[in-house]
Chains A and B, each alone.
Chain A
Amino acid sequence: MTHEIGRPLLRVRGMLKMFPGLVALDRVSLDVHPGEIVSVVGQNGSGKSTLVKILAGVYAADGGRVELAEGTGLHFIHQDLALVPELSAAENLALMRGTGAGGLAPFHDRRRSERARELVARFGPVFDVDVPVRRLTPAQRAVVAISRALDGWTHSANVLLLDEPTESLHRSEVDVLFEAVRRLAADGTGIVFVSHRLDEVLGLSDRIVVLRDGHKVADEPAHEVDESRLIGFITGAEDGAAVPTTPRTSSSGPREARAEPDAPASPPALRVRGLGGGSVDGLDLDLRPGEVVGVAGVLGSGREAVPSLLYGAGEASADLFEVTGAAYADRSPAASLGRGIAFAPGDRAHLGIVREFTARENLTLPQLGTVTGGLGRILSRRERAESDLLLTEYDVRPHRAEQRISLFSGGNQQKIVLARALRDHPRVLLLDEPTQGVDVGAKATIYAAIGRAAADGTAVLVSSSDAKELLAICDRVVVMRDGRAAAMLQGDDLTEHRLIAEGYGLP
């Protein structure tokens, strides 16, 4: 299947997008021809989603242009599909179409359902179009979304952009979706497929475009690319050679600065066997005092759930759960804090802080007992002094303990969250995406603080979608896949290439 015939339907030329202190897209160009399936891949922060958002009109580009061939329509399927879950497939499909008489004209149920069945039949077996879409399988929902995107097509030619459409799909359902996509392409539609699942990308695409740090680093026919080369493009180690990656920020060297972890003879700070809950299904883990352990994995692998499950924030089960050798049942945040387990959640705005509180009130909230005196009174002078000290130690700017925390920048909020978690010198520190939405300077401060905590004997667990971050701060990394630990990487094995390959389940 070569589709280089004729003019491309979609031409992106020299697309430039800058954010403060960051070039998100650096003059990226892209062509999509009729009937061609072009995949766009890259890591978090590579510029993938920025490109999608510019095409969708969410962001305005700082330079470059997008050209559509005469009479071509551009359509989007976003990750969340944008369906109304309580309405049936037929109703969802009818939403987009005008009803003519001012939206108050009665509609014909039967005709509407027939039309819906016709539409979905183009993509494979017909399913019940009259039940609420929330009762359909994820793949069927995706088909509804695609049908809806297609239904309004009045153009002679079309380009369909699918943004991480397989995120919520089970492996077996992905085929249903791909069959639909292939049928569309066979009819001459141009497809842009944005994904981070490399096996799918390799299986589906005609051409693969790789973005890295805002640059287009590869634009190759799919049959000339194999997994190893693809990972090489994505990580920047060309040809897929296992080149160890150096930490991104020069000042973030806690790995080197820290003493060796304790001998394995001492009991682990935290030992868990068969941890289950959420998307995690049977995780075994040991955290030793003084070590920084990373948790990696693609979205949906269970990676993001591990810290909160260990903290006792969600419903979790475990065959064995020990803190420094003592069994720990009936887990809850309060009990975890009591046992010296601290947690800094990833959703900072909703879970990490009380936005209406000042920095000081947030800092002392979990451990108010240490600043409480006679008559159950908060000793405000001591509380203030302690807050001031913490703001200095964690380099929070501006140095204003009485400022509302929501008025600090994201990076400084995160420093406060970390300062709070470390205030009582916990045995175990659980971090979820510790530098999400954080600027480079704050990142260095946060890495340094993590390193100091580990040097003091705290066992640190870091769950992160940022492979470079894990490489920079972790002694070893657990790679999650389908809710379990798929690999444990350390020493020379701990490379960006291995991290990503294991995450995708590639050899």
Chain B
Amino acid sequence: MTSRRAEIRRALSFRNISAIYIFIVLFVVFTVWIPEKFLQVGVWRSLLDAEALTGIAAIAALIPLVAGSLNLAVGAQVGFSAILAAWLLGVAELPIAVELPTVLLAGALIGLVTGLIITKLRVEPIIATLGMSSILLAGMAWVSNSQQILGLDPAYREIATSRFLGITVPVWVLLAVAIVTWYVLERTPVGRRMYAVGFAPDAAHLAGIGVDRLRIGSLVAGGALAALAGALLTSRLNAGDPTVGPSFLLPALTAVFLGATQFRAGRFNVLGTIVALYVLAVGIKGLQLAGLPRWVNDLFYGLSLILAVALSQWEKREKRASAEPEAGASPSAPSPTRDAAGAGG
């Protein structure tokens, strides 16, 4: 079973799961550097919880990206939904059972409008979502008067802060969202078609795929998920804060792009995104605990984003180089490995 062994070796190769090796390095470094602060159960538990909303936002960015739309409005979508949730509860005084579905619906609607702008008005996704981001920021300022919305139903706070099996609800929500998204993207025709649309829209169209419909659908799903993150954010803060949402964009996109270099090299994928998210968070947390100033966050995410994309480009080139001689070689022996020719492991 050499092929089996090759498969395992490839699966464990640095190239395939570099984030996990980086995690190990970070862990060792911080354990040696600041053991008394870093090795606390509380630190890790709060890390898990704190990043859950970013994780949902990352998946909200991931889904449209698979179908070819880079969504720069994810942060603004989270922020707008958070303010909307606070306004519905605190100002309009609606019950939670009405507020929550309304926020999700509004998020989906924002996705729909963005999708229509991209597909019907033929505006490049990056421009459409940049514009949409600014519009949503304006909407946030308008609804909130650029001030915190306080005095929410204390019961609403329970949603994001209560625990189940020792783990907070947002983490469970992230887990559920991740599993469903993973299933759809990796195991269903819809997911396969979304990847086809993202990679080669013209070829996908000729293969009978409803390109526009999938694009719009991916943005609607992403919008609803961003709204979910926003609603949970307001619950966690027990207030509507117009400044928090937009800061979700960079970590979310960084996780998605770094995640694309993991596991399914070259494809945006859920597992890679979640792993990348927490590896990045551990790095940030360690730096904070070591006493470095807060602006290190932005520096870290910015560098990681560039590094992630550079890494995937490098991988593409390497893949081509290592594959050339192999492509024409031995016509026999069907290989069970995924992307066998590019493995080089």
Chain A residues close to B by CB (< 8 Å) = 311, 313, 333-334, 336-338, 343, 345, 350-358, 361, 365-366, 368-369, 372, 376-378, 388, 391, 397-404, 407-409
Contact = CB atoms under 8 A, between A and B. Distances in A.
B189 interface: yes
Given A333-B206, A354-B203, A400-B335, A376 B188 contact: yes
A356 B329 contact: no
A202 to B, nearest CB: 40
Interface stretch (B90-98, B271-279, B336-344): B336-344
Interface string B317-332: 0010001001111111
Q: Nearest 3 A-B pairs (CB), nearest first? A: A368-B189, A397-B331, A334-B208
B56 to A, nearest CB: 23
Nearest to A367: B208
Contacts of B327: 398, 403, 407-409
A393 to B, nearest CB: 14
A388 B190 CA distance: 23
A368 B195 CA distance: 13
A353 B338 CA distance: 18
Nearest to A377: B187
Interface string B183-222: 0000111101101100110111111111000000000000
B204 A400 contact: no
Contacts of A350: 200, 202-203
A369 B200 contact: no
Contacts of B206: 311, 313, 333, 343, 345, 351-352
B266 A377 contact: no
B267 interface: yes
B334 A401 contact: yes
A399 B336 CA distance: 11
28 contacts: A333-B205, A333-B206, A334-B208, A334-B210, A352-B203, A353-B200, A354-B195, A354-B203, A355-B199, A356-B199, A358-B338, A365-B204, A366-B208, A377-B188, A378-B188, A378-B192, A398-B328, A398-B330, A398-B332, A400-B334, A400-B340, A402-B336, A402-B338, A402-B340, A403-B327, A403-B340, A403-B341, A404-B342
B116 to A, nearest CB: 19
Given A334-B210, A368-B193, 6 more contacts: A350-B203, A353-B203, A354-B199, A372-B189, A397-B331, A404-B342
A438 B67 CA distance: 31
Interface in B155-191: 187-190
Given A357-B196, A361-B192, A409-B327, A402 B208 contact: no
A164 B173 CA distance: 64
Given A398-B329, A407-B323, A376 B340 contact: no
A328 B188 CA distance: 30
- From A352, A353, A368, A388, name the one whose CB has the most chain B CB atoms within 10 angstroms: A368
A399 B341 CA distance: 12
A400 B332 CA distance: 9
Contacts of B339: 358, 402-404
B199 to A, nearest CB: 4
Contacts of A397: 331
B241 to A, nearest CB: 39
B333 to A, nearest CB: 8
- From B209, B323, B341, name the one whose CB has the most chain A CB atoms within 10 angstroms: B341
Contacts of A372: 188-189
Contact of B195 (A357, A369, A399): A357
B332 A376 contact: no
Contacts of B337: 402
Given A334-B209, A399-B332, A402-B335, A368 B340 contact: no
A271 B231 CA distance: 57
A365 B192 contact: yes
B336 A376 contact: no
A400 B206 CA distance: 24
A365 B266 CA distance: 19
Nearest to B342: A404
A420 to B, nearest CB: 8
Nearest to A343: B206
A319 B335 CA distance: 51
Contacts of B331: 397-399
B199 A357 contact: yes
A420 B112 CA distance: 33
Contacts of A369: 189
- From A343, A352, A354, A358, name the one whose CB has the most chain B CB atoms within 10 angstroms: A354
A340 to B, nearest CB: 12
A496 B172 CA distance: 71
Interface in B38-59: none
Contacts of A352: 203, 206
A313 B209 CA distance: 12
Contacts of B323: 404, 407
Contacts of B342: 404, 407
Contact of A354 (B187, B200, B332, B336): B200
